[in-house]
Amino acid sequence: MEQLNNITAHIKDELLIGPEAPIVVQTMCNTHTSDVEASVAQCVKLYEAGAQMIRLTVPSMGQVESIREIRARLRTQGINVPLVADVHFSAEIALAVAEVVEKVRINPGNFHKDHEKARELFAQLVQVCKRNGTAIRIGLNHGSLGERITNLYGNTPLAMKEAVMEWLNMCVENDFYNIVVSLKASNTIVMVEAYRLLAEQMKENGVVFPLHLGVTEAGNGDGGRIKSCVGISALLSDGIGNTIRVSLTEDPVNEIPVAQYLADRYDGRLYSSMSAIQIEGKKVVATYAAPSRERLLLDVSCDFGKRLLDREIDEIVLKGYYLDLEGNEVLLDDSEFAEYLVDELLQAARRRFYRPEYIACPGCGRTMYNLESTFNEVMRRTAHLKGMVIAVMGCIVNGPGEMADADWGYVGEGNGKVSIYKKKTPILRHVPENEAIEKLLELIEKGDC
Ligand code: SF4
């Protein structure tokens, strides 16, 4: 094996991402980037909440100027938080915006249908980033692997690893190391395996790039938090991962405390509130003295997520208490809440499905409808469909590709219209938003089309 080279990405002079630095907490705006006022206001809010890096979507060339303006306004307010441009399907935008922001997130595979052309465009982007000191995140998601790679390896964690290695090798050939990599999936098993395979391969090759971790389309509420913690903590506790985003279908400011908890815990600044543990075979009895409901939820997810994913345990019994908002002890022994928490945890680790599995993107500047309330309504109306996988996605550009293994998908088209998907196939298009949930339910009830 060659000598190991652990790479640290330099996000201009502002931030380091890599083994020499603490875990970096980041998030993404869900404003329209063209709405400069709203985007600046949200960036300020996210920065004040603790975001160390903020991503904004750049869906058109016109919005390159918007992000330039957003950045300038933040800098005038003394906010130097690095900005990341999220670019899909357009090398032209990536090349232009790389001169403006600190980091560009791309999936080079979707730069062009012709793979050789995509490689050429990526090589051009690397040169622009080198000249401007801009970092790149190569962000491949499970749902958006190209046909070329899935024909070779199937829609698998191995395919994700193989796909990203090609671009990383190109970076090495071009002597460009200002790179961060992500291999997100909404399925925690797929996500953890993909990152583990990649970490192993990079070690073998002797060049270890920093990793951005996240469970994509994790949803919202307790379920979204638990799923994110299960996937991210499994990797952080393996020593894999340098920056994290907890994607929630909520106000992005809510992502920060969860991500900060993970960063603090795996950088050794915070410990679980578990006070005792008994293990008998694959059964665990854990006792907690948690300072809040939220802390209990995060602690339990991180304490047992990895062990469930790795099948080291099958059963969890929670005892002890958490403190409610008035400081009263809420007992866990034989409680409905403890049972619910264990059910959610088993579902997040895909060990047992006690309700439908939801895939919902966090939304971004491409979202043209009220994603959060629609998702809540879809969950309310489909709660009885145990085991079914239902996706609610913000846009038609990335939504269908990203919803991976959903049985049904509700995908916003923009202009008040929705497409309904069965697996990967759109079976109804241009449905007015106010009729779309009804239509989705009718189709699910019929079972086919
Ligand atoms: S799927 Fe959701 S998060 Fe992804 S680009 Fe579309 S709206 Fe944004």
Is residue 1's pLDDT more than 50?
Answer: no
C-alpha dihedral (85, 87, 93, 97), degrees to nearest 10: 10
Average pLDDT, the chain: 95
Does residue 1 fall inside a structural domain?
Answer: no
CB 32 near ligand 1, within 6 Å: no
Structure-token match 């790039």, residue found: 209
Among 252, 437, 255, smallest CA distance to 363 is for: 252
For the chain, percent of residues with pLDDT exceeding 90: 88
- Radius of gyration (Cα) for the chain, nearest Å? 21
What stretches of 117-263 adopt beta strand conformation (E)?
Answer: 135-141, 179-184, 207-208, 212-213, 243-244
pLDDT of 307-358, one tens digit each? Answer: 999 999 999 999 999 999 999 999 999 999 999 999 999 999 999 999 999 9
184 and 294 in a single domain? The answer is no
* 284 CA → ligand 1 middle, Å: 38
For the CA of 247, the closest atom of ligand 1 is 3
Mean pLDDT along residues 124-132: 97
**Which neighbouring-strand residues pair with 358?**
390
**Predicted local distance difference test score (pLDDT) of residue 13:** 74
CB 399 near ligand 1, within 6 Å: yes
Cα 87 to Cα 41, 105, 245, 393: the distances in Å are 22, 6, 17, 17
Find the angle CA(442)-CA(378)-CA(258) to the nearest 5 degrees.
160
Instruction: Give the CATH number of the domain where residue 65 resides.
Output: 3.20.20.20
How does 367-396 read in b/e, with b if 16+ C-beta sit within 10 Å? bbbebbebbbebbeebeebeebbbbbbbbb
- Which of 30, 395, 413 has the most ligand 1 atoms within 8 A of CB, as the residue to mutate? 395
**Predicted local distance difference test score (pLDDT) of residue 306:** 98
Does residue 106 fall inside a structural domain?
Answer: yes
Q: Domain boundary residue among 348, 368, 386? A: 348
321 and 250 in a single domain? The answer is no
**Beta carbons of 126 and 169 less than 8 angstroms apart:** no
**Predicted local distance difference test score (pLDDT) of residue 3:** 62
* 64 CA → ligand 1 middle, Å: 18
pLDDT of 237-283, one tens digit each? Answer: 999 999 999 999 999 999 999 999 999 999 999 999 999 999 999 99
**Predicted local distance difference test score (pLDDT) of residue 312:** 97
Does residue 3 fall inside a structural domain?
Answer: no
For atom 4 of ligand 1, the residue with the nearest CA is 398
Does residue 258 fall inside a structural domain?
Answer: yes
**Beta carbons of 181 and 18 less than 8 angstroms apart:** no
**Which DSSP symbol is given to 385?**
-
**Which neighbouring-strand residues pair with 139?**
182
For the CA of 365, the closest atom of ligand 1 is 8
Mean pLDDT along residues 115-123: 94
Among 406, 348, 356, smallest CA distance to 223 is for: 348
Structure-token match 């106000």, residue found: 251
CA pair distance 52, 71, nearest whole angstrom = 14
213 and 313 in a single domain? The answer is no
CA pair distance 81, 202, nearest whole angstrom = 29
249 and 211 in a single domain? The answer is yes
Instruction: Give the CATH number of the domain where residue 366 resides.
Output: 3.30.413.10
How does 95-117 read in b/e, with b if 16+ C-beta sit within 10 Å? bbbbebbbbbbbbbbbbbeeeee
282 and 186 in a single domain? The answer is no
Q: Which of 141-150, 184-193, 302-311 has the lowest mean pLDDT?
A: 141-150
Find the angle CA(222)-CA(227)-CA(230) to the nearest 5 degrees.
120
**Beta carbons of 334 and 321 less than 8 angstroms apart:** no
**Predicted local distance difference test score (pLDDT) of residue 448:** 53
Q: Report H helices in 336-432.
A: 336-348, 371-382, 399-402
258 and 327 in a single domain? The answer is no
Q: How far is CA 390 from the centre of its chain?
A: 17
Does residue 168 fall inside a structural domain?
Answer: yes
Does residue 100 fall inside a structural domain?
Answer: yes
CA pair distance 185, 171, nearest whole angstrom = 24
38 and 61 in a single domain? The answer is yes
Is residue 145's pLDDT more than 90?
Answer: no
252 and 313 in a single domain? The answer is no
289 and 426 in a single domain? The answer is no
Q: Domain boundary residue among 225, 249, 266? A: 266
Please count the structural domains in the chain: 3
pLDDT-derived band at 449 (thresholds 50, 70, 90) equals very low
328 and 375 in a single domain? The answer is no
Mean pLDDT along residues 142-150: 85
Does residue 4 fall inside a structural domain?
Answer: no
CB 105 near ligand 1, within 6 Å: no
Q: Domain boundary residue among 232, 266, 300? A: 266
> For residue 444, what are the contacts with CB-CB under 8 A and spacing of at least 6?
382, 385, 388, 408
For the chain, percent of residues with pLDDT exceeding 70: 99
Mean pLDDT along residues 397-423: 91
How many residues comprise the chain? 449
CB 395 near ligand 1, within 6 Å: yes
65 and 179 in a single domain? The answer is yes
Is residue 4's pLDDT more than 90?
Answer: no
Mean pLDDT along residues 98-107: 97
CB 58 near ligand 1, within 6 Å: no
For atom 1 of ligand 1, the residue with the nearest CA is 399
Backbone φ/ψ region at 117: left (φ over 0), alpha (ψ -120 to 50), beta: alpha
pLDDT of 179-199, one tens digit each? Answer: 999 999 999 999 999 999 999
CA pair distance 363, 400, nearest whole angstrom = 14
**Predicted local distance difference test score (pLDDT) of residue 345:** 98
Among 209, 214, 205, 255, smallest CA distance to 233 is for: 214
CA pair distance 218, 402, nearest whole angstrom = 12
CB 362 near ligand 1, within 6 Å: yes
**Beta carbons of 194 and 157 less than 8 angstroms apart:** yes
62 and 207 in a single domain? The answer is yes
For atom 5 of ligand 1, the residue with the nearest CA is 398
For atom 3 of ligand 1, the residue with the nearest CA is 363
Q: Per-residue DSSP letters for 286-314? A: EEEEESSHHHHHHHHHHHHHHHHHTTS-S
Name the residue range of residue 24's domain: 9-266
Does residue 365 fall inside a structural domain?
Answer: yes
